[in-house]
Chains A and B, each alone.
Chain A
């Protein structure tokens, strides 16, 4: 079974809906739901990324009105729509057929849910890894033994570096835990840390 909205066809259909007049995202979802006689309503998570991509490609623009983004088709978008008129006609008849055929429609729903679930798992796995990496790890409780007098300059510097690194971790960790910071402050702090790490990586590799 070919997916009604596979291979960029939802994108094409969004463009078609916007050709009839400017709409905000939620209206687009309602219009799609109406087109499918209420049998299918795409989620916000399906619609917004596609609108953003359309905007990135210059086919739609948005204006903010009363806290809502209203999307509008551009001339480039209309040109694209004219160019793909045949494809759109096929899509319309496919939609009509899928509304008639409940089991094909359920297939669409199944594949959309499966796709979103797969994407979500990948995204959260990556986010978990990131969170683990940026989590504050306390320094080892026993400090590194002081280098002997015979230690070369290299080793002394290395030990000094280790001490500084441990002190840095302890101090920043203590600062963060000393009082409650707002989320944005912490997020900025994380970005600063990431930046520092990036700089060190570039220096030491």
Chain B
């Protein structure tokens, strides 16, 4: 199959390899999951505008037909024109590179270990079990990630960023007004940089971390669960904290303008340690 126009709910199974998937949708739900089986595209809901599915030379492209002319103009006028909502689910091999763009809606990406770029304008991004280099950008809405490893770069304007159960060694998170919450089982030599303007930052790292730490807030308050960090800035409110944990091989920088920063220690569970590869 090279090109298919889908205008009613349909399930497509693709022959041949997929090493790259590009999706461009305007509105609806987009799910991209890794699978051991053959690559699939399920369109479970489609509006008036059909979805194009193209598969050529290992590259899978899924896109919604663009609005043109008056309809495209009216889209910006608010509720005058309905957004054509679609629900698309794609299953691809785990090592495929993904480039996913959704203007409005909810996006789920799971199990991929190649490079993944995810961009949503308004809605929600859910990441689970990604292991490659992941970039996620959202203007209005939250990014939630569970069990993500590898490299992570997350940016939001007004949404929250939450990282649960993460073993990523390289984390960058940037928000303007959203809170950043990270629970990191950070490997040695991690590089963690968290920046926000008015959101709060809560980050929990391993109690036996090797990190050079720099926490700074202009008008918030710093709370640290590591007593070995040096506190600076006037009392009664702590605004800066610096110091070295362990050998200090990695680095943790957190900076907030009006938000508060809390650095917490994550007790190391020896039992679980032995179980993970």
Write the residues of chain A forming the contact surface with B, with a CB cutoff of 8 angstroms. Answer: 24-26, 37-41, 43-45, 48, 66-69, 101-103, 105-106, 109-110, 112-114, 116-117, 119-121, 124-125, 127-128, 131-132, 135-136, 138, 176, 180-181, 183, 186
Contact residue range for chain B? 35 or more
A109 and B202 contact, CB distance less than 8 A: no
The distance in angstroms between the C-alpha atoms of A116 and B29, with both chains bound, is 21
Given A102-B33, A103-B44, answer yes or no on A113-B276 (Cβ-Cβ < 8 Å). no
Q: A128's closest neighbor in chain B, by CB?
A: B262
Jot down 30 A-B pairs with beta carbons below 8 A, ordered by A: A26-B275, A26-B276, A38-B34, A38-B37, A40-B110, A40-B111, A45-B164, A68-B274, A69-B271, A101-B42, A102-B40, A102-B42, A102-B89, A105-B31, A106-B33, A106-B108, A110-B126, A113-B127, A116-B164, A116-B165, A117-B164, A119-B164, A120-B181, A121-B181, A124-B204, A127-B225, A128-B262, A132-B223, A176-B227, A183-B208
Given A41-B111, A45-B165, A67-B274, answer yes or no on A120-B183 (Cβ-Cβ < 8 Å). yes
The distance in angstroms between the C-alpha atoms of A127 and B145, with both chains bound, is 20
Which one of A68, A109, A125 contacts B275 once the chains associate, using CB atoms below 8 Å? Answer: A68
B165 and A44 contact, CB distance less than 8 A: yes
Please tell me if B146 contacts chain A, counting CB pairs below 8 Å. yes
A39 and B276 contact, CB distance less than 8 A: no
A121 and B165 contact, CB distance less than 8 A: no
Which one of A40, A114, A128, A186 contacts B223 once the chains associate, using CB atoms below 8 Å? Answer: A128
A131 and B224 contact, CB distance less than 8 A: yes
* A-contacting residues, B83-131, CB 8 Å: 87, 89-91, 94, 106, 108, 110-111, 126-129
A112 and B262 contact, CB distance less than 8 A: no
Write the residues of chain B forming the contact surface with A, with a CB cutoff of 8 angstroms. Answer: 29, 31, 33-37, 40, 42, 44, 87, 89-91, 94, 106, 108, 110-111, 126-129, 144-147, 162, 164-165, 181, 183, 202, 204, 207-208, 223-225, 227-228, 235, 262, 264-265, 271-272, 274-277
B223 and A131 contact, CB distance less than 8 A: yes
The distance in angstroms between the C-alpha atoms of A131 and B222, with both chains bound, is 11
The distance in angstroms between the C-alpha atoms of A131 and B264, with both chains bound, is 8
A128: chain B residues within 8 A (beta carbon): 202, 223, 262, 264
A132: chain B residues within 8 A (beta carbon): 223
Which one of B34, B42, B146, B264 contacts A124 once the chains associate, using CB atoms below 8 Å? Answer: B264
A106: chain B residues within 8 A (beta carbon): 29, 31, 33, 89, 108, 110
Q: Is the interface of A mostly helix, strand, loop or mixed?
A: helix
Q: B221's closest neighbor in chain A, by CB?
A: A132
The distance in angstroms between the C-alpha atoms of A101 and B129, with both chains bound, is 19
A105 and B33 contact, CB distance less than 8 A: yes
The distance in angstroms between the C-alpha atoms of A125 and B191, with both chains bound, is 24
A25 and B275 contact, CB distance less than 8 A: yes
The distance in angstroms between the C-alpha atoms of A37 and B38, with both chains bound, is 10
Which one of A25, A69, A116, A131 contacts B146 once the chains associate, using CB atoms below 8 Å? Answer: A116
B223 and A109 contact, CB distance less than 8 A: no
Given A109-B33, A113-B126, A113-B145, answer yes or no on A127-B264 (Cβ-Cβ < 8 Å). yes
The distance in angstroms between the C-alpha atoms of A101 and B264, with both chains bound, is 40
A103, A117, A135 interface centre (most CB from chain B within 10 Å): A117
Q: Which 6 A-B pairs have the closest CB atoms?
A: A106-B31, A102-B89, A43-B147, A38-B36, A67-B274, A128-B262
Output the least CB separation between A13 and chain B (Å): 18
